[in-house]
Structure 1
C-alpha cells in the first residue's frame, strides 16, 4: 500500500484547526452535517445505536441526534481534545477504528475519509461494524475541490522555481467512491455530488480558512522548502487574473461527495449492475423503508 499522507501530520493539522477555533471556517463541515442529517431524516426507520467517525467539532453527531432517528450516539476521535464533555466517546486513529463487529445500526463519517491512506480497508472496517441492514453515510471532498488553487500554485512554482511539488491533496472521483463501496461489501451503494463555490477577497483568507479547517498539506511527497512571500504574492496575482469575478473577488470550488451503503441483509432488494445507478443519494434513501 502506498503511503500518500503523513498520518501524524494529518492529526496535528486537525488538532491545530480545533485550537484555532474559527467557527466561520467550519462552513463546509456545517453544510455536510446538515446534508447528512437531512438524508437520515427521510429514512423510514429508527437507529438504536449510531457512531460518528472523526467529526471534529461534533456538529454532525448533534444534527443527526436532532432528527429523532437515533437512540444513542457514540463519537470517535483521534484525541481527547475533540471530546470535551462527551459521555459516549472513544479514541481511535483515522484508519484503525477499533470498532466491534455488528455493533451499530448507523455509522456517519463527515469530511475525514479523504485523509486515509487505506480507504478500502477503512470502509471494510465500517461495514463489519454495522449490524445487518445498518446504514453508512459519509461526506468527503471530491475531484474538482480547490481546482483553482491547485492550478495557481502549480503555475507559480513552475514560473518561479522551475519545477513543481504537490501542494493540494488529490481528491477522489465520485465513480471511484462508488466502486470502493462495492469493493468493501456494501449493499445498495449510492453516491452523488454537490458543488459549492465560495468567494474570497484574495488567496490569503482562503488559505487561512484551509488551515482553520485542518486542510493544510499533509502529503508525504510535499516539499519541505519554506515558500517565500514573493511566491505567495505571485500566486495571489495569478489567482486574481484567472479566477476572479467582475467585483475582484476570487472563486474557490468545493465539491462534496455524499455516499451511502447498507450492511447486507436478506430483506434488501437486489442491487443494480455496477455503473447502472442513476439516482440521487437522497432519493435512494427516501425510498428505503424498514
Structure 2
C-alpha cells in the first residue's frame, strides 16, 4: 500500500512581506516614543514564569525580541544568550542550524508562520533534554473593534485584512501534537485606549503586528477609510476606543 505524502500547509502568510514587516519594525522603533507595549508585556511574563519556576537555564535562545531587553537581562544573570529574528532571514519553519538550548523564548512571531506545528517541532528539537520553551503571540479575540471597523468599511464585499488567529484550545492541542511535556497554555488580555484608528494602525506597524497575509486584499480607498475610522471611533467613549490584545502563551518541556 502506497504511503500518503505529507500535506503541505496552506500558504496563508507571505514570507517576503513578513520579512519586510520585521525590517520596517526596526526602523520604526528608532523613533522617539515608539510603541512597544506588546513586547514589554511578553518579556515581563517571561521573567515572572522563570522566577515562579525557579528555572535558571545556562543557554538561552531568544526569537523576536527587537528591543534586546530580555537578552541583556539574561546576560546580566550570567547566561549564554543567542538572539535571532525573522528580519535577518531566520526561517522558523525550517530546522534550526543550532541547538541544545536549555530555554527557547519566542516572542510575537509564531502567529504569522504557515506551519505552526512544524515551527513548534523545530523549537522542541533545538532544546536540550530537560529544556523549556516559552512562546507568546497574539491570539483569537484580539483587535475586535478593528475587525468590526474593517467589515463596515468594506460593506457587502469584505476583504481579508486581519490575520486568522489561534485560540487557547488549539494552543493546547498544538503542544500535545508536537510532543511537549507538562504543557501550560494561558491567555491574558492587554487593553489599550486609542484616540483614532490611525493611532492604532501606527502602533501595529511599529510593533510588527500589521497585515502579512499572502492575499492581502485591495487597499482601502479614501471613502472606505473614512467609514472605518468613523466606525472605530463610534465603538468608543469620550473620544477613546479601547482595543484588546489577547496574548497567548504556550510553554512546555523536552524530556
- Give the alignment's TM-score, normalised by structure 1: 0.80
The match for 1:250 is 241
- Counterpart selection for 2:250 from 259, 262, 268: 259
Contact 1:189 1:259 in 2 (8 A): yes
Other structure's SS at 1:25 match: coil
The match for 1:53 is 63
1:19 aligns with 2:17: no
- Counterpart selection for 2:151 from 149, 154, 161: 154
Distance 1:237 1:45 in 2: 48
Structure 1 residue 79 displacement after superposition: 4.4
Distance 1:138 1:261 in 2: 9
1:72 aligns with 2:69: no
The match for 2:96 is 98
- Counterpart selection for 1:215 from 192, 205, 209: 209
Contact 2:152 2:227 in 1 (8 A): no
Q: RMSD of the alignment, in Å? A: 1.7
The match for 2:168 is 174
5+ residue gaps, structure 1: 81-90, 265-290
1:58-137 map, 5 Å: 58-66=68-76, 68=77, 71-80=79-88, 92-101=90-99, 103-137=100-134
The match for 1:275 is none
1:42 aligns with 2:36: no
- Give the alignment's TM-score, normalised by structure 2: 0.90
Contact 1:165 1:221 in 2 (8 A): no
1:141 aligns with 2:146: no
Structure 1 residue 157 displacement after superposition: 0.2
Distance 2:92 2:72 in 1: 20
The match for 1:28 is 38
Distance 2:25 2:87 in 1: 13
How many residues align? The count is 245
Distance 1:178 1:230 in 2: 42
Contact 1:50 1:107 in 2 (8 A): yes
Structure 1 residue 65 displacement after superposition: 4.2
Listed one character per residue, the Cα deviations across residues 182-222 of structure 1 (whole Å, up to 9, x for unaligned) are 11110010111110111011111001111111222111122
Structure 1 residue 166 displacement after superposition: 1.0
Structure 1 residue 54 displacement after superposition: 2.5
The match for 1:281 is none
Contact 2:124 2:180 in 1 (8 A): yes
Distance 1:170 1:65 in 2: 36
Distance 1:230 1:208 in 2: 19
Contact 1:32 1:60 in 2 (8 A): no
After TM superposition, the structure 1 stretch with the greater mean CA deviation from structure 2, 34-43 or 7-16, is 34-43
The match for 1:240 is 233
Contact 1:30 1:60 in 2 (8 A): no
Distance 2:231 2:249 in 1: 32
The match for 2:197 is 203
